[in-house]
Amino acid sequence: MTSVQRHATTLWDGDLTHGAGRVNGASGALAELPVTYKSRIGRPDGRTSPEELIAAAHSSCFSMALANLLSQEGHPPQHLEVSATITLDDSSGAPTITSSALEVSGRVQGIDTAAFRDAAKRAGAGCPVSRALAAVDITVDATLSQQD
Q: List pLDDT tens digits, range 22-33.
A: 999 999 999 999
Maximum alpha-carbon separation in the chain: 56
Q: Is the pTM of this model over 0.95?
A: no
User: Cα-flanking dihedrals φ and ψ of residue 40, to 5°?
Assistant: -80, -40
Alpha-carbon dihedral of residues 85, 86, 88, 92, nearest 10 degrees?
120
**109 near 75, Cβ under 8 Å?**
yes
Q: What does the pLDDT look like over 68-108, one tens digit per residue?
A: 999 999 999 999 999 999 999 998 889 999 999 999 999 99
Q: Say how many C-beta atoms besides its own lie within 10 A of residue 71's C-beta.
A: 12
**59 near 102, Cβ under 8 Å?**
yes
Record: fold of 50-144:
GMP Synthetase; Chain A, domain 3 (3.30.300)
Q: How far is residue 120's CA from residue 118's CA, in Å, rounded to a whole number?
A: 5
Domain ranges across the chain: 8-41, 50-144
Q: Say how many C-beta atoms besides its own lie within 10 A of residue 123's C-beta.
A: 26
